Amino acid sequence: MNIQTISTQPFADQKPGTSGLRKSVPTFQQPNYLANFIQSIFDSLDGYQGQTLVLGGDGRYYNREAVQLILKMAAANGWGRVKVGHHGILSTPATSCVIRKYKAFGGIILSASHNPGGPNGDFGVKYNIENGGPAPEKVTEAIFARTKEITEYKLLDASDVDIDTLGESKLGGMVVEVIDSVADYQELMESLFDFDRIRALLTNGSFRLCVDAMHAVTGPYAHAIFEQQLGAPAGTVRSGTPLEDFGGGHPDPNLTYAHDLVEIMFKEDAPDFGAAFDGDGDRNMILGRNFFVNPSDSLALLAANAHLVPGYKDGLAGVARSMPTSAAADRVAQRLGIGCYETPTGWKFFGNLLDAGKATLCGEESFGTGSNHIREKDGIWAVLFWLNILAVRQQPVEQIVREHWQMFGRNFYSRHDYEEVASDRAKALVDHVQAQMPTLPGKTFGSYTVEYADNFIYTDPVDGSVSQNQGIRIGFTDGSRLILRLSGTGTKGATLRLYLESYEPNIAKHTLDPQVALGDLIAIAEEIAQIKEYTGMDKPTVIT
Ligand code: VG1
Ligand code: CO
């Protein structure tokens, strides 16, 4: 066995963000860049020798090269076995599922999620721990610390592994097992949902489904589950072949970037149900005929209807949402008499609540929903959950949402993103708002009075760990909220996110366009943060 020890020098920019290390492909292609980060992950772990690692990615450009490098480094570092997805493909939720099912030590997911791919697009690396979830902050901090002092890494001198043929082979002293990317995940889905009932819905001759995989990782999963297993006609899944550059698209399931699906779902005679996923398959956008379901509402709806779904029929332990996500789910939790938790942005903060059995469903406003079935958000799961509800209730999506608002009131919600803002301008804007915080409480803006203004601090109720600076919150006496934070997943300049929420109990006002209903708050945000001036942009890049 020829294990090489290769000298290297640290890179200063390998700090993992909201969800792993994300950089442009050319950055990752620098000599030793990826190897340094992988070795830093291994060096931060204790006791992985002889254990199993799960490895896969969303199929974007550089995925295959990265898989080969990581396999050789894993063999050189003493891992016992690597379960690698067929062709190097595993969605983020499937990776989480495989880690849990086979009690692996951890997993590496190669993805920059919703960021575009290709030779000039982005690439990324995420490490997940043995519960199947994203590494918590103490782990990512240790990895980052290691990247700053690394001097060498280990690599097995061997030829490339065949990752296109299922089965086991030896790489040095390690076993490489190429696994079916879909099978384990598909089996888990079958255990949670009423597939017979969903099949009956999808084959009843009138219900029409349209799923857009956006040429990213969910294609094989969607073809296997919706078309082959559940009987939806061929063609139900659009853009279902993963491409290295996602066909030039931006695999982010929102109203702006999933425009093909939006066009289909908002035309006359549109299908009954539409959904899109992101690059690595953990996000979902849900659309009814001519109707958009806000992700915050989607979480609330799943919670309110969970008893209709076999995997959740015994009730929920609790619901958790990220801080910027609307409080629609809180109202459901209150009605159900179950726990409700508010965490910082990023799925890693849900892990402890799920492990401790405090929460069953979790969600983020950024098109992420999931449950205790794994430790990641899960796009295909969310669609199956919705289809199961539709199969039982036999009502259109829009009607189900409107009835929900009638029962609970409507949390008007919107997020305005300003992408690729110069980093110093974005920082200046945040400083400018931060400076006003002490004087905001008690101040009135038209009919709104500020009740509190702070920067969200989270204390994990399970392990007591504290996370500071998780977003500026300005709360008003009527329960409305404005939230400002900078993205931790972008790779070009800074992305400013403005989140807006207000609550409307009056049914007569539920048909308002959220941008109209939130108009006063949008103006107040501009008054406080002077977004136009600081960003030099007169409107957001993306509105959801
Ligand atoms: C964004 C979202 C956040 C999500 C994260 C990872 O982070 O706001 O809710 O968990 O992306 O999603 P940020 O820091 O850019 O706001 V994904 O689909 O990249 O795994
Ligand atoms: Co993602």
Domain ranges of the chain: 3-181, 185-408, 410-543
Does the beta carbon of 346 sit less than 6 angstroms from any atom of ligand 1?
A: yes
Provide the ipTM. 0.97
CA of 207 to the centre of ligand 1 (A): 32
- Between CA 207 and CA 219 the distance in angstroms is 21
* Ligand 1: residue whose CA is nearest its atom 6: 19
* Ligand 1: residue whose CA is nearest its atom 18: 113
- Between CA 79 and CA 453 the distance in angstroms is 48
pTM, entire model: 0.94
Does the beta carbon of 377 sit less than 6 angstroms from any atom of ligand 1?
A: no
What would the two tokens of residue 310 be?
A: 């076999």
Does the beta carbon of 252 sit less than 6 angstroms from any atom of ligand 1?
A: no
Question: Which atom of ligand 1 lies nearest, measured to the CA of 279?
Answer: 18
What's the fold here for domain 185-408? Answer: Alpha-D-Glucose-1,6-Bisphosphate; Chain A, domain 3 (3.40.120)
Burial grade of 529 (CB within 10 A; 0-12, 13-18, 19 or more): buried
Does the beta carbon of 114 sit less than 6 angstroms from any atom of ligand 1?
A: yes
Residue owning tokens 């989607």: 298
Question: Which atom of ligand 1 lies nearest, measured to the CA of 19?
Answer: 6
* Ligand 1: residue whose CA is nearest its atom 20: 113
Residues with CB under 5 A from ligand 2 (ion): 113, 278, 280, 282
What would the two tokens of residue 348 be?
A: 């890693």
- Between CA 32 and CA 53 the distance in angstroms is 21
CA of 354 to the centre of ligand 2 (A): 19
CB 4 within 8 A of CB 76: yes
**Nearest-ligand number for the alpha carbon of 112:** 1
DSSP string of 198-245?
Answer: HHHHHTSSS--EEEE-TTSTHHHHHIIIIIIIT-PPTTSEES-S--TT
DSSP string of 336-390?
Answer: HT-EEEEE-SSGGGGHHHHHTTS-SEEEETTTEEEETTSSS--HHHHHHHHHHHH
Q: What is the pLDDT of residues 187-228, one digit of tens each?
A: 999 999 999 999 999 999 999 999 999 999 999 999 999 999
Does the beta carbon of 489 sit less than 6 angstroms from any atom of ligand 1?
A: yes
* Ligand 1: residue whose CA is nearest its atom 2: 366
Residue owning tokens 């090489």: 4
- Dihedral angle at the C-alpha atoms of 503, 505, 510, 513, nearest 10 degrees? -20
What would the two tokens of residue 389 be?
A: 């509800």
* CATH of region 410-543: 3.30.310.50
**DSSP-derived pairing of the beta strands 542-543 and 494-504:** unpaired
Angle (nearest 5°) at CA 163 between 375 and 277? 40
According to DSSP, residue 56 is labeled: E
Does the beta carbon of 487 sit less than 6 angstroms from any atom of ligand 1?
A: yes
Does the beta carbon of 347 sit less than 6 angstroms from any atom of ligand 1?
A: yes
* Ligand 1: residue whose CA is nearest its atom 5: 346
Which of 345-368 are b and which e, b meaning 16 or more Cβ less than 10 Å from the residue's Cβ?
Answer: bbbbbbbbbbbeebbbbbbbbbbb
The catalytically annotated residue of 40, 91, 113, 322 is 113
Does the beta carbon of 488 sit less than 6 angstroms from any atom of ligand 1?
A: yes
Please name the CATH architecture into which domain 3-181 falls. 3-Layer(aba) Sandwich (3.40)
Angle (nearest 5°) at CA 528 between 515 and 500? 30
Q: Which residues of the chain have pLDDT under 70?
A: none
> Which has the closest alpha carbon to 484: 431, 438, 539?
431
CA of 15 to the centre of ligand 2 (A): 18
CA of 114 to the centre of ligand 2 (A): 5
What would the two tokens of residue 44 be?
A: 């931060």
Average per-residue pLDDT in the chain? 96
- 414 annotated active-site: no
Same fold, 3-181 and 410-543: no
- Between CA 135 and CA 455 the distance in angstroms is 24
